[in-house]
Amino acid sequence: MRSGDSTDSLIVKWRRQVIDSQGWRRRLLALCSGLVAVLALPPLHIVPALVPALTILTWLIEGARQNEIPSRGKRGGTALFRTGAWSAFAAGWWFGVGFFAAGLYWVSLSFLVDARQFAWMIPFALLGLSGGFAILIGLSTWAAHMSARGKPQRLFVMIAVWWVVFEWVRGWLLTGFPWNYLGTVWTFSDAALQLASILGVLGLSLVTMLAAAAPALLGSSENRGRSSLVIVGGIYFILAIIWLGGAYRLHLAGDSYLENVRLRLVQPNIDQRDKWKAELRGRHLNNLMSLSEAKVKTYSPTHVIWPETAVPFFFDSSPAGLRAVSQVIPKGGALLTGAPRRSGGKTTDGKNEPTQLWNSFHVLSDQAQIVQTYDKHHLVPFGEYVPFRNIINVDKLTAGRMDFSPGPGPRILFVPGAPPVSPLICYEVIFAGKVAGETGGESAERPGWLVNVTNDAWFGTSSGPHQHFAAARLRSVEEGLPLVRVANTGISGVIDAYGRVKARSHLNERTFIDSRLPQSLRGPTFYGMYGDWGVFALMLVVILISIFPHFFLKIQRT
């Protein structure tokens, strides 16, 4: 027997074992595949791990047809409720539990900041998140099973398409949580990321799913030979073309910076347990100011940027604090900082208005004036507010009993001495297509840069801050805008309009970063103009190719 035949037979054997698995073995295979897939995410980026993980998932969906026995109850059952369809859903759900539990484990660390009050919530939060989001992966495998109709050459396409559809759903359902989209695995490669300027992160997810699931064809005894090799080889050829195209785009890009904007990013590295202690607030403010005023030869910053809720007081009720902070503002420049904001209380005519609390971003001039303010509009459930508070009687994770109020939406702020900026507070940066104010087409409302202020101290030394930083890089490529990220601790950095990291800090480091501001692209990217419509159109083309391959591909069957 030739070695090639031996390898071929081994793949067929593996496929048959996966397809024939039942009961707890089937569930364990799905769960472990989800755990393996997480290895491809930041910070590990072991992208080849996706191939066995998603190949096994595809085989599990294929094996669900063996369970096509109508459910008990209504005579004959319906296609939607046959046990095979539920078997496909279950395979995706168990895969999703492993994928999200391992990918989002760091969320549980935030409950340990005040462990006495919140540690009991860890299993509910982690199991609730992983089990809830796994439903969407279960729906994608169920939909793939229903639409592929038992054809392996269509199944791997359908799982890719439906995976991306439900990633998109996850981006807005119940306020949305588009964290760890599969396209994020490519953030180790500047060249591969360039596709996001056309199709966004969902486009990267689509080609990644196709490439990772396509090898499932090689294990099918009915689809071996030239046709399967051509399909798999063709997809990997397209992946190589995407990488080469991105490398060529970067080759033409060069480096360009604004001449008169010199940034200082301040990362104070304040432990979350100490951040709001009244007796330490003066020390925290001195920490920020000393880093802001540090002298560096041949460099004089024009704009200083502090992280999310950096200022430990309300500007409107502390004129002395505002004057003190203004001492670090360069003449003719500005300080950009996160700070809590409060409104309401007693008005000038003696009336009492309801008090509201905001997680805000301020632009301060060298005249100790707040010239622009943005209020965070996409709040973190249970972190900044408790949804259904009249039913769920728990405290939010952040300090204080009062919930934060959401702002009106994205804004573009004008900054003295710098281009207009679109501010993003904390995880607002993970929402593709919603980071650049009111941009679109040739709108004059396009900002010159993005600023993401955040506080990743909640998540310690974990994969969370790395995943957060990776999401920020994707936004810069999608919009063709430089992004400046400033964290209390986490990963602060300067990212150019092509997603290239020009400067960055490390986790748990007290430091500052001096950098010029990279220039934005002259106009919006394709994604900046059309958003996710491009990837939806591509998905339609991919579906048509899988249904009518003879119209698109010249495949000689063996």
As annotated, the active-site residues are 308, 376, 426
How far is Cα 360 from Cα 373, in angstroms, rounded to an integer? 7
How far is Cα 169 from Cα 182, in angstroms, rounded to an integer? 14
Residues in the chain: 558
- Angle between helix 83-103 and helix 122-148 axes, rounded to 10 deg: 140
Q: Between the CA of residue 505 and those of 267, 320, 471, what are the distances in Å?
A: 8, 31, 16
Largest CA distance in the chain: 94
Torsional class of 298: left (φ above 0), alpha (ψ -120 to 50), beta (otherwise): left
Nearest Cα neighbor of 64 from 24, 98, 92, 32 is 92
Q: Between the CA of residue 71 and those of 68, 79, 147, 553, what are the distances in Å?
A: 9, 10, 19, 39
* CA–CA–CA angle 377, 380, 383 (5° rounding): 130
How far is Cα 362 from Cα 337, in angstroms, rounded to an integer? 5
Give the N- to C-terminal CA distance of the chain in Å, as an integer. Answer: 20
Residue that the structure tokens 């919009």 belong to? 479
Nearest Cα neighbor of 54 from 236, 222, 217, 242 is 217
DSSP state of 181: -
Are the CB atoms for 529 and 440 separated by under 8 Å?
yes
Range 347-372 burial, b when 16+ CB lie within 10 A, else e: eeeeeeeeeebbbbbbbbbbebebeb
Q: Is-cis flag, bond preceding 43, omega within 30?
A: yes
Neighbours of 322 (CB within 10 A): 20
Are the CB atoms for 514 and 299 separated by under 8 Å?
yes
Are the CB atoms for 362 and 337 separated by under 8 Å?
yes
Q: Classify burial at 222, counting beta carbons within 10 Å of its beta carbon; exposed 0-12, middle 13-18, buried 19 or more.
A: exposed
Alpha helices in 21-177 (DSSP H): 23-37, 50-63, 83-103, 115-118, 122-148, 152-170
Residue 405 one-letter amino acid: S
The string of DSSP codes covering 336-376 is EEEEEEEEEEE-TTS-EEEEEEEEEEEEEETTS-EEEEEE-
Q: Classify burial at 189, counting beta carbons within 10 Å of its beta carbon; exposed 0-12, middle 13-18, buried 19 or more.
A: middle
Token digits of residue 368: 């100790």
Residue that the structure tokens 């950009």 belong to? 336
